[in-house]
Amino acid sequence: MQEQMMTQNEAAMAVGVPADTPDAVKVLSVTHWTDRLFHFEVERPASFRFRSGEFVMIGLLKDDGRPLLRAYSIAVPFWSERLAFYSIKVEDGPLTSRLQHLQVGDHIIMKTKPTGTLVLDALLPGKRLYMIATGTGIAPFASLIRDPDVYEQYDDVILTHTCRDVAELAYGVQLVEDARQDPLIGEMAAGKLRHYPTTTREESAKMGRITTLMEEGTLFADLDVPPLNPETDRVMICGSMGLNNDVKAIIEAAGLEEGANSKPGTYVLEKAFVG
């Protein structure tokens, strides 16, 4: 009886897909950052190619056996041997309520067709690159800040990350630290990458919504840079719909124009994906 109950519990907990499911990839590590945020690595299929900043569809199987997929930014640069994803845990979210229980050795589905606009190719050449992230919107920048092309193309790389509280900034702090220590891009990143973390609901060294900090000029004063200039400055934005729209309004007022893969511009944006 005991044994049978355990088996049932285990079955209820098993969230991965069978290893022979089409497009299955194996989970290599799982890190829980807070009760709302986690990160996991998966194996990289041998033939899979992507550009830093792109996203793919990942997911699990529904009870009826059909795939349940959501868009996730790939949180590692193009050269990484492993792939990684950073996710929120939504208690009643169809996918993340299950995904958060992944264990090492489980499999998930990953469609091998990367896409997205948060790529260097969608921006015109410039001098200073701003990466504006809120919450899990930092994931594509986890990729880009470890891409050597970013440092070859820009003199000054500024990653802003705004979260509700200090604990939610931890993943970004680690990423920036890793980039600066990285054997491949560490030296370039150490000289050019600047991190500007802020919180909105808990006391920290820097508080405030990034939109307010931009509108009031605090961001530029703190970084000791001139206000936004479409000649030299490029912006990538990744956050909630509201954040994206509000930052877009601010930077368009400064003269920046949205770019796309087919027509590069002076800024690009993508919605941070949530399950």
Encoded one letter per residue, x for contact with ligand A2P by CB under 6 A and - for no contact, window 79-118 reads: ----------------------------------------
Q: Is 134 in the site for ligand A2P (CB under 6 A)?
A: yes
The maximal CA–CA distance of the chain, rounded, in angstroms, is 72
Distance CA 60, CA 72 (A): 13
Binding positions for ligand A2P, 198-227, rule CB under 6 A: 200-201, 209-211
Q: Could you tell me which residues are beta bridge partners of residue 110?
A: 58
Instruction: Rule CB under 6 A: say whether 147 interacts with ligand A2P.
Output: no
Under the binding rule (CB under 6 A), the answer on residue 242 touching ligand A2P is: yes
Q: Does 243 help bind ligand A2P (rule: CB under 6 A)?
A: yes
CB of 206 vs ligand A2P, minimal distance in Å: 12
Q: For the CB of residue 214, give the shortest distance to ligand A2P in the complex, in Å.
A: 9
Under rule CB under 6 A, residue 34 binds ligand A2P: no
Distance between first and last Cα of the chain: 36
- Asked if 163 interacts with ligand A2P (CB under 6 A), we say yes
Q: Smallest distance, Å, CB 239 to ligand A2P?
A: 6
Amino acid identity for residue 26 in this structure: K
Is residue 139 within a helix (H) or strand (E), and if so which, with residue range? helix 139-144
| CA dist., res. 110 & res. 84, Å (int) | 11
> Using the rule CB under 6 A, which residue among 128, 162, 197, 269 binds ligand A2P?
162
CB of 1 to ligand A2P, least distance (A): 44
Choice between 89 and 107, CB closer to ligand A2P: 89
Q: Where are the alpha helices (DSSP H) in 147-185?
A: 148-153, 170-181
* Burial of residue 264, with CB atoms counted within 10 A of its CB: 0-12 exposed, 13-18 middle, 19 or more buried: middle
Which range in 69-77, 150-158, 174-182, 234-242 contacts ligand A2P by CB under 6 A? 234-242
Query: The sheet that has 193-199: what strands, in order across it?
Result: 193-199, 156-163, 128-134, 233-239, 267-271
Give CA–CA dist 53/147, Å, rounded: 9
- Which residues of this chain interact with ligand A2P, rule CB under 6 A? 134-135, 162-164, 200-201, 209-211, 239-240, 242-243, 246
